[in-house]
Amino acid sequence: MCNSSNHGVVYKGPGQVAVESIAFPELALGKRKCNHGVILKVLTTNICGSDQHMVRGRTTAPAGLVLGHEITGVILEKGDDVEFLNVGDIVSVPFNIACGRCRNCKSGMTGICLNVNPARPGAAYGYVDMGGWVGGQSEYVMVPYADFNLLKFPDSDQAMEKIRDLTLLSDIFPTGFHGCVTAGVGPGSTVYIAGAGPVGLAAAVSAQLLGAACVIVGDMIEERLEQARSFGCETIDLREDGDMEDKLEVILGEREVDCFVDCVGFEAHGCGCGGHQKEAPAAVLNSAMQITRAGGQIGIPGLYVTDDPGATDEAARVGALSMRFGLGWAKSHSFHTGQCPVMKYHRSLMQAILFDKVNIAKAVNVQLITLDQAPQGYADFDGGAAKKFVIDPHGSVAA
């Protein structure tokens, strides 16, 4: 099997990705056997906004990195210590790599596992500073700690029928849901979602699933706002002048929301509401404190980095942002940051998909592409396309 061919999406430098021949995965970690791992034939693997930060040159990602942390596949081979999964099982791979053995994993904090990244807590496939793991925008990939990490779909035929929805369990659906949970979204809540990219749209669907009374999505791209409106969200075009409180009052009759979810992150821009659409990495965080009610919660699944080579100033380069934190303190806000612990949510969200309680693929506008089309998918996504690009490397889904 080690002589089989494999191809993957490789980061070549700022603005450049290419599909290249890469090594076929082995059940090994360095020089030792990885008996707890599996090799997957990748069924679907998605392009994420987090990947886009790297491809834009906004991280310290090295050229040659195989990209991709949103993976769904079928088990091709398994290690001797894998007890509860079998060859042929279709599984969702959480983007967090977690050992299942450390203090954090045992507490459910799988996004900050202590054993899978020598540099810092937390690891992911194909991502900068996340342990050096090979990414899964490829034909085949190795997944460690398989019994702990993988979510097996109960019926393979049903899984293939709903694969466009189920592929989103590896990251953006749990991430959007986590943003809403940490923002305190519940029945009757009013919610503002900053950003109508795929994670923002997934958060909007999640807020509806959690019982929100009104979900408002803000963005600067009309096509993405139209996508949010397609499943019942209110929208705010951030290119238009005017105070955010005035815009909220038109929709809600109130000038604040109960819950705020930041799905933009560090590449935020100042909006037309008093800004000039220039990059302003703290813009969303400051807006959150401004328009969230006293005692409200702010979920921050949007990515913030510790090293940004393309930052607008030296402070922002190391993640030091100019936040009006005193306002948040005065309003007794709570802030929740960090990677989503996917395993906390993915089984429940799988059930919501399988029992037709949610149509997440339609909400985020899944667009199926081939592996060879991945570079164009990156370019279109960078241009603001209101689509979630899902790579079908073997043509399994198209078939």
Q: Which SS3 state, helix, strand or coil, does residue 69 take?
A: coil
- Domain ranges, ordered by start, for the chain: 7-171+341-391, 172-336
Q: How confident is the model at residue 125 (pLDDT cuts 50, 70, 90)?
A: very high
Which H, E and C letters describe 160-173, residue by residue? HHCHHHHHHHHCHH
Element (H, E) at 178: helix 172-182
Q: How far apart are CA 74 and CA 92, in angstroms?
A: 9
Residue 273 has pLDDT above 60, yes or no: no
pLDDT at 133 over 90: yes
State the Cα–Cα distance between residues 346 and 281, nearest whole angstrom.
Answer: 30
Greater confidence (165 vs 280) lies with 165
Could you read off the pLDDT of 213-223 as tens digits, one per residue? 999 999 999 99
Range in 165-169, 208-212, 233-237, 277-281 the model is least confident about: 277-281
Task: Calculate the CA dihedral of residues 39, 41, 44, 45 and round it to 10 degrees.
Answer: 40
**Under DSSP, is residue 151 helix (H, G, I), strand (E, B) or coil?**
strand
Whole-number mean pLDDT of the chain? 95
Largest CA distance in the chain: 65
Which ranges constitute the DSSP H helices of 271-324?
283-291, 314-317
* Residue 275 confidence class, pLDDT cut points 50, 70, 90: very low
pLDDT tens digit sequence for 78-117: 999 999 999 999 999 999 999 999 999 999 999 999 999 9
CA-based torsion, 186, 192, 193, 196: positive or negative: positive
Question: Are 206 and 228 contacting, i.e. CB atoms less than 8 angstroms apart?
Answer: no
Q: Quick check: 2 pLDDT over 90?
A: no
Give the SS3 label for residue 260. strand
Please state which architecture CATH assigns to domain 7-171+341-391. Alpha-Beta Complex (3.90)
Give the 3-state secondary structure of residue 53: helix
Q: Does the pTM exceed 0.85? A: yes
Can you give the pLDDT at residue 3? 57
Tell me what pLDDT residue 274 has: 44
Write out the E strands in the chain. Answer: 7-13, 16-21, 28-29, 32-33, 38-46, 71-78, 90-93, 140-143, 151-152, 190-194, 214-219, 234-237, 257-262, 292-299, 334-336, 366-369, 388-391
What is the arithmetic mean of pLDDT over 303-313? 87
Give how far the C-alpha of residue 246 lies from the chain's centroid of Cα atoms, to the nearest Å: 31
pLDDT of 373 higher than 50: yes
Q: Does domain 172-336 have CATH number 3.90.76.10?
A: no
What local confidence, expressed as pLDDT, does residue 96 receive?
97
- Mean pLDDT, residues 247-258: 98
Q: Is the pLDDT of residue 155 over 60?
A: yes
